[in-house]
Structure 1
């Protein structure tokens, strides 16, 4: 996300400052119960598909709603316009806007507001900022598991079983006993090995989509890239994770929330109570010292969630 001035240098990241959960892993490991079997680190990558069992379409676009119960839809644009949007309005009243492109084939989009009615609209640009409806449909979702939208890949968090991010996530999950330990390992790795790309942040275009393997390869990215990389690693390890976009202070920003069954604190920076989503911001951790991160993250007023993916 584009950086702006802020009292605490949350987004003004220059290079990689080692995140100081040092000591956290060892101290937590001493407290953890490692008497049982190790956690299975074999990736489980859910693959969205468009089998055509329930499709709404015309000459411009197709919406495959065959897997509503899995928490996602597939959308394909086949018209001739260069600027096309998909808008999804769910039961939480939030309006999500995605960009579509001709020839891209089906892409997956999450039904992230849970059960209820969703209004889907595919809009084509006619001139300037004016758009016309190419296809619209209302669907009713009954999702069999509330975590599924945050386990599947989607347009903003795309990965497959062959992704290097998935393979790296498996490596980081080896020799762990709990999901919480996996979260720590992934968190520490990303915040140590990805540097904030100031030039990219200044020039990022509207509709930017992260490439998790590119971020892993180059070791550089903006907050969206940090969050997408961590999300892909954790989802492929069966850990439900939300990529959240909103405001950190006055800055438009991206971070993640994750759910694990383990209860407890991780150095007072990431809190899990076994039931609720909590804030975890990998960009913040990569940019600041430990005490600054604690002070900032513990004040939930600093974060205002607008969207989650």
Structure 2
């Protein structure tokens, strides 16, 4: 019931929270929507950007060289340095719950149903010790504890958890979302251009599904290719698709869920080599997307980019990062 409650709150939040603002381009601030549109119209037909658009898909694996859990609920921790674990349940219960608590003390719950395939679960708390608990569903809201173990994690790169697919941002090299992202960013000249292109593609090709939002079930997981094929989705579908398309272009993207003021809210933060992390670059409020306005300023010729944000970031409180 808790997950159904927060998904509905997220999908039905007030749409007036923030006004649409224009995303800055490659190293300089763009003047506005009208000028950006005019610049795009002025581009020669068929001309492609200087940024490579071929996909880069990080593929999670389960070699099972290091495992935790039981015979029926297996957690493969062989690749924790890449920012994920792989989990599989082969028992007779209708579902199990894996809870992962990282060094940031945030507990993440992931649900699995019986099957032979492994599911990738992200380690978004950074380096440190993770506690991994396994629970098997008995009846109603009752679960039996199957195991409680720990794993020490040292990430090869702090960006990797936000490049790999996972249960919430699920895609493969053959996904429609991956090929679509390549086509969408063909004219991009830098990562920020690519972010803008993907943003525009999603809002132009996906419509918000009010009926689906009203009837969403607990433990709902997005299907990025279904969202593209149907052209409809709820907040979670928008966020998952956008993150999948960004990650497939080797652009780290965090799907973050929390509060903006007293509104339950979601946003996507993006990393580029030019800027570092840009927090809340793409934001979901109600049934629409809006972009923050990161203004780029370089003081005294320094190469470090300083980000200034519209609004007070202290009003934001992140609960979960996917």
Alignment partner, residue 115 of structure 1: 127
Matched, 1:56 2:62: no
What is the Cα deviation at residue 3 of structure 1?
A: 4.3
2:87 and 2:119 in contact (8 A); partners too: yes
State the distance in 2 between where 1:288 and 1:142 align.
35
Change in Cα spacing, 1:297 to 1:228, as seen in structure 2 (3 Å) is farther
Matched, 1:300 2:313: yes
1:45 and 1:160 in contact (8 A); partners too: yes
Alignment partner, residue 267 of structure 1: none
How many positions carry a matched residue from both structures?
A: 282
Q: Any idea what SS the aligned residue of 1:23 has? A: helix
1:259 and 1:276 in contact (8 A); partners too: yes
2:84 and 2:123 in contact (8 A); partners too: yes
Q: Any idea what SS the aligned residue of 1:277 has? A: strand
1:173-212 equivalence runs, <5 A = 173-212=185-224
Matched, 1:276 2:288: no
What is the Cα deviation at residue 172 of structure 1?
A: 1.3
Q: 1:130 aligns with which of 118, 129, 142?
A: 142
Alignment partner, residue 256 of structure 1: 268
1:251-309: CA deviation from partner (whole Å, max 9, x where unpaired) = 433321111123xxxxxxxxxxx133310335449737899xxxx97343554211011
State the distance in 2 between where 1:212 and 1:145 align.
26
Alignment partner, residue 161 of structure 2: 149
Alignment partner, residue 76 of structure 1: 88
Q: 2:54 aligns with which of 42, 65, 84?
A: 42
1:191 and 1:286 in contact (8 A); partners too: no
State the distance in 1 between where 2:116 and 2:282 align.
31
TM-score by length of 1: 0.82
Change in Cα spacing, 1:94 to 1:158, as seen in structure 2 (3 Å) is same
2:103 and 2:127 in contact (8 A); partners too: yes
1:128-159: CA deviation from partner (whole Å, max 9, x where unpaired) = 32222113220000001110000000001000
State the distance in 2 between where 1:258 and 1:285 align.
21
Change in Cα spacing, 1:113 to 1:260, as seen in structure 2 (3 Å) is same
TM-score by length of 2: 0.79
Task: Indicate the larger mover: 189-198 or 231-240.
Answer: 189-198
Q: Provide the aligned C-alpha RMSD in A.
A: 3.0
Runs of 5+ consecutive residues of structure 2 not aligned to the other structure: 1-6, 19-31, 43-48, 293-308
Q: Any idea what SS the aligned residue of 2:218 has? A: coil
Change in Cα spacing, 1:65 to 1:25, as seen in structure 2 (3 Å) is farther
Q: 1:158 aligns with which of 170, 178, 187?
A: 170
What is the Cα deviation at residue 45 of structure 1?
A: 0.5
Alignment partner, residue 90 of structure 1: 102
2:72 and 2:91 in contact (8 A); partners too: yes
What is the Cα deviation at residue 177 of structure 1?
A: 1.5
1:21-32 equivalence runs, <5 A = 21-24=33-36
What is the Cα deviation at residue 28 of structure 1?
A: 9.6
1:191 and 1:283 in contact (8 A); partners too: no
Q: 1:2 aligns with which of 1, 8, 17?
A: 8
